[in-house]
Amino acid sequence: MAITIKSSSEVEKMRIAGRLAASVLDMITPHVAVGVTTEHLDQICHKFIVDELDAIPAPLNYHGFPKSICTSINNVVCHGIPSEKKLKKGDIINIDITVIKNGYHGDTSKMFIVGKANVKATRICKIAQECMYLGIDLVKPGTHLGEIGQVIGAHAHSQHCSVVRDYCGHGIGQGFHEEPQVLHYDNGKTKQSPILEPGMTFTIEPMINLGNYQVVTSRLDGWTVTTKDRSLSAQWEHTILVTETGHEILTLRAEESI
Ligand code: MF3
Ligand code: CO
Ligand code: CO
Q: Which ligand is nearest to the CA of 240?
A: 2
Using omega within 30 degrees of 0 as the cis cutoff, is the peptide bond preceding 180 cis? yes
Residue 1: the pLDDT is 75
Atom of ligand 1 nearest to the CA of 79: 11
Residue nearest to atom 7 of ligand 1 (CA): 59
68-94 b/e (C-beta count within 10 Å ≥ 16 → b): bbbbbbbbbbbbbbbbeeebeeebbbb
Q: What is the pLDDT of residues 30-40, one digit of tens each?
A: 999 999 999 99
- Cα separation, 197 vs 140, in Å, equals 7
pLDDT of residue 131 exceeding 60, the answer is: yes
Atom of ligand 1 nearest to the CA of 98: 1
Tell how far the Cα of 70 is from the centroid of ligand 1, in angstroms. Answer: 7
Q: What is the pLDDT of residues 207-246, one digit of tens each?
A: 999 999 999 999 999 999 999 999 999 999 999 999 999 9
Return mean pLDDT, the chain: 98
Q: Whole-model pTM above 0.75? A: yes
- Cα separation, 38 vs 42, in Å, equals 6
Tell how far the Cα of 256 is from the centroid of ligand 1, in angstroms. Answer: 23
Q: What is the pLDDT of residues 232-242, one digit of tens each?
A: 999 999 999 99
Average pLDDT rounded to a whole number, residues 9-38: 99
Contact 18, 239 (CB under 8 A): yes
Residue nearest to atom 3 of ligand 1 (CA): 107
Q: Packing angle between helix 38-47 and helix 8-28, nearest 10 degrees? A: 140
Residue 64: the pLDDT is 98
Average pLDDT rounded to a whole number, residues 173-182: 98
The DSSP letter of residue 195 is: B
CA 91 vs CA 31, 80, 147: distances in Å: 14, 14, 32
CA dihedral sign, ordered 249, 138, 134, 105: positive
Q: What is the pLDDT of residues 73-122, one digit of tens each?
A: 999 999 999 999 999 999 999 999 999 999 999 999 999 999 998 999 99
- Cα separation, 36 vs 240, in Å, equals 31
Give the residue, out of 25, 56, 69, 176, with the most ligand 1 atoms within 8 A of its beta carbon, to mutate for a pocket test.
176
Residues 6 or more apart whose Cβ sits within 8 Å of residue 1? 178, 179
Selected residue with higher pLDDT from 257 and 220: 220
Residue 257: the pLDDT is 77
Atom of ligand 1 nearest to the CA of 67: 12
Average pLDDT rounded to a whole number, residues 11-18: 99
Which residues, judged by CB distance below 6 Å to any ligand atom, belong to the binding site of ligand 1? 59, 62-63, 65, 70, 79, 96, 98, 107, 203, 205, 237
Residue 95: the pLDDT is 99
pLDDT of residue 258 exceeding 90, the answer is: no
